[in-house]
Structure 1
Amino acid sequence: MMRRRSLLAPVALALVGPPAARPARAQSSGHAPWPQRPIRVTIAFPPGGPTDLVARVLGEHMARTLGQPLVVENRPGANGNIGAEQVARAEPDGHSVLYNTSSIVLSTALYDKPGFALSDFAPVVLTASVPLVLAVNPALPAEDLAGFVALLRASPGRFAYGSSGNGNVTHLANFRILRAAGLQATHVPYRGSAPALTDAAGGQVQFVTDTLNSALPLIRDGRLRALAVTSPRRVPLLPEVPTLAEAGMPGLESGAWQGLLVPARTPAPVVARLNEAANLALADATVRERLAIQGAEILGGTPEAYGAWIREESARWGQVIAESGVKLD
């Protein structure tokens, strides 16, 4: 996880002078001033979800820096493929941006024809990561991870877990946990986090590993019991809950990370200006407070660092998907 920490350093470099002192438009030889009109930000997931919430917080601040509104358009479907394909095919002039999640690297391994390739995009910035939390129905007689492992080991295949869908990070995180401990359980895919969490709280499935900001209300209400978080350190919103490593399962750190991409061949000065605006937003105290409430770990950095991150994550999750045997049409 040290590589994740190294992505934070460039945030400070973006803070040379206050936003008001920076030009509102990017311009280079042969290119018209930018932005010339509102910037469309496509979110490939439904409104009100964890990705949507973070993107809108950042978009509000970035709009002030760039001098044009960032208009959010939700295009959910096919694990994020519909929205991603729309931006991949858009004019590369900086007025079409994809607020993406880790699903973009999962899709290229899960689908034979996802509708896009990673090479169709230019990276802008890695914005944030939301840790996952392993949570069980309170009726399950498991007070901690050790008890959970013992329970499932004693009854192979008896228990079921929910996820946001086949091949989703919430599915694959569970797959890694079960495989690492040599456990068997039935996977029940849902169309999103909300129904999976609702059924876990209702006992239709016995456990989930979902994003912290999605699961937190049910955990606080006592409708789910948190056993471990997937982050490398404990999270401030659940300080009493250990990490997987602390609970005896090291090497399984993961999160639902997010970032900004634009169509390939978008002019470099436009990418640089978007990156600067995003890093300024991520460094803003109010933005950081609003994201912290949602359990998001604030990142940031350069386009080059984000490109390297995507390549590393694509290789890592591609291997996990190959081992899981999951394939989608």
Structure 2
Amino acid sequence: MKLPRRSLAALLAAPALAGTPATLLVGAPAGSGPDLWARGVAPFLERHWARATITVVNRPGQGGMVGARALAAAAADGLTLGAVGTPVLLARAVEQGELGLMERLNFVASIAEEPLLLVATAALAGFEAVRALPGTALMGTPPGGSAAQLLGAPLAAELGLTDFAFANSAAVRQAVLSGHIQLALLAAPDALSLLREGRLLALAVASERRSPLLPETPTLRELGVRMAGRACRGFALPGGTPLTAVNSLAQALRAVVEDPEFVAQADAFGYSADFQGPEQWMGQVRATAYDLAVRWRTSPWTQRAG
């Protein structure tokens, strides 16, 4: 049987590509949460993506924007990918007037969801006690533009509370534990260890459905608050990457999500293994970017430059 020239070329190229090392860009400092997550996923990518090695390269700065620019400028050969998180990267792009940069990236797939949790100390006995708090009571969140803060601001208003964005998640946790504030909205990885130790209580999960991490915790919607939000982590390629390379990575990422060892790792660190492929995630990215751009014009979540 005679193979078409294009098919023969693809067969000849495939083994070489399979053994070619890939570079994983992380737009955060070494040792940070996004960096540790990306490095934790790398061995599973090596297992399922037929790459000999994946080298992690940190490009920190400007809330992930330095890394995003480096990814957009990389060769579109399928050998350079970036670890990205939404909606925070989109919020930073809106803040800096660089939403166009997001169109130069190919958001291939998200593989993990960080549930957002409304947490409190034991002194606050249940969700009804939250509604009884005075309007001066503070609900803490991580910095402006984070998934928790973007949802936390309207949630606090809905509950008749005052939202307060801290410098980082660690500061939020400390403020709750020390009693300076009574409740906070945090991503699950930032709260799960304290919940498991019994030092914090989960009052609600801000997802469309209950989280398998905390199946007994009701959603906000179940408690009568019609709000939901999510934070996703996944991978992107430079725009213009051939569809075959995009599909290859997407298939590998689906295999990662189905890997029992990855699921166990995700559960241990407060993530839910959850796959959204190229079409679904890119659609979500564009819709979220539009919503954030509209919101920024009237209700900026952080102080505008200048």
Asked if these proteins are the same fold (TM beyond 0.5), I'd say yes
Match of 1:290 among 260, 265, 269: 265
Q: Which residue of 2 aligns with 1:69?
A: 53
Count how many residue pairs are aligned between Structure 1 and Structure 2: 294
Identical counterparts, % of pairs: 25
Q: Deviations over 1:104-131 (max 9, x none)?
A: 22223222357x6111101211212111
In structure 2, relative to structure 1, the CA distance for the partners of 1:64 and 1:32 (3 Å cut) is: closer
In structure 2, relative to structure 1, the CA distance for the partners of 1:119 and 1:297 (3 Å cut) is: same
Length-normalised TM-score, structure 1: 0.79
The aligned amino acid for 1:292 is D
Alpha-carbon contact 2:152-2:163 (below 8 Å) kept: no
Measured after TM superposition, the shift of residue 28 of structure 1 is: 8.3
Q: Which residue of 1 aligns with 2:6?
A: none
CA distance in structure 2 between the partners assigned to 1:32 and 1:319 by the alignment: 47
Q: Deviations over 1:302-328 (max 9, x none)?
A: 322222121122233444444533344
- What is the SS of the residue equivalent to 2:223? coil
Measured after TM superposition, the shift of residue 301 of structure 1 is: 4.3
Alpha-carbon contact 1:161-1:187 (below 8 Å) kept: yes
Q: Deviations over 1:119-173 (max 9, x none)?
A: 110121121211110112444xx3222221221xxx32x2333332122212112
In structure 2, relative to structure 1, the CA distance for the partners of 1:27 and 1:300 (3 Å cut) is: farther
Match of 2:194 among 205, 212, 218: 218
Q: Which residue of 1 aligns with 2:89?
A: 104
CA distance in structure 1 between the partners assigned to 2:30 and 2:173 by the alignment: 17
- What is the SS of the residue equivalent to 1:300? strand
Measured after TM superposition, the shift of residue 60 of structure 1 is: 0.9
Q: Which residue of 2 aligns with 1:185?
A: 162
Measured after TM superposition, the shift of residue 227 of structure 1 is: 1.2
Superposition pairs of residues 256-267 of structure 1, within 5 angstroms: 256-267=231-242
Compare 62-71 and 319-328 and name the one that shifted more. 319-328
Match of 1:86 among 70, 73, 88: 70
Measured after TM superposition, the shift of residue 261 of structure 1 is: 0.6
In structure 2, relative to structure 1, the CA distance for the partners of 1:203 and 1:48 (3 Å cut) is: farther
CA distance in structure 1 between the partners assigned to 2:52 and 2:13 by the alignment: 22
Instruction: Say yes or no: does 1:147 pair with 2:132.
Output: no
In structure 2, relative to structure 1, the CA distance for the partners of 1:35 and 1:176 (3 Å cut) is: farther
Alpha-carbon contact 1:130-1:257 (below 8 Å) kept: yes
Q: Deviations over 1:249-301 (max 9, x none)?
A: 12x11111112111111222221211121111111122222223333232224
Match of 1:136 among 102, 115, 120: 120
CA distance in structure 2 between the partners assigned to 1:174 and 1:159 by the alignment: 14
CA distance in structure 1 between the partners assigned to 2:22 and 2:276 by the alignment: 21
Q: Which residue of 1 aligns with 2:105?
A: 121
- What is the SS of the residue equivalent to 2:265? helix
Measured after TM superposition, the shift of residue 36 of structure 1 is: 6.0
In structure 2, relative to structure 1, the CA distance for the partners of 1:189 and 1:77 (3 Å cut) is: farther
Which ranges in structure 1 are unaligned for 5 or more consecutive residues?
Answer: 1-25
In structure 2, relative to structure 1, the CA distance for the partners of 1:147 and 1:256 (3 Å cut) is: same
Compare 82-91 and 256-265 and name the one that shifted more. 82-91
In structure 2, relative to structure 1, the CA distance for the partners of 1:31 and 1:108 (3 Å cut) is: farther
Q: Which residue of 2 aligns with 1:245?
A: 221
Q: Which residue of 2 aligns with 1:55?
A: 38
CA distance in structure 2 between the partners assigned to 1:170 and 1:187 by the alignment: 11
Match of 2:140 among 162, 168, 171: 162
Alpha-carbon contact 1:27-1:34 (below 8 Å) kept: no
Length-normalised TM-score, structure 2: 0.84
CA distance in structure 1 between the partners assigned to 2:114 and 2:196 by the alignment: 17
CA distance in structure 1 between the partners assigned to 2:106 and 2:255 by the alignment: 20
CA distance in structure 2 between the partners assigned to 1:257 and 1:264 by the alignment: 20
The aligned amino acid for 2:208 is P
Q: Deviations over 1:48-97 (max 9, x none)?
A: 55544443343212212323212223334322222222212222222221
Instruction: Say yes or no: does 1:279 pair with 2:254.
Output: yes
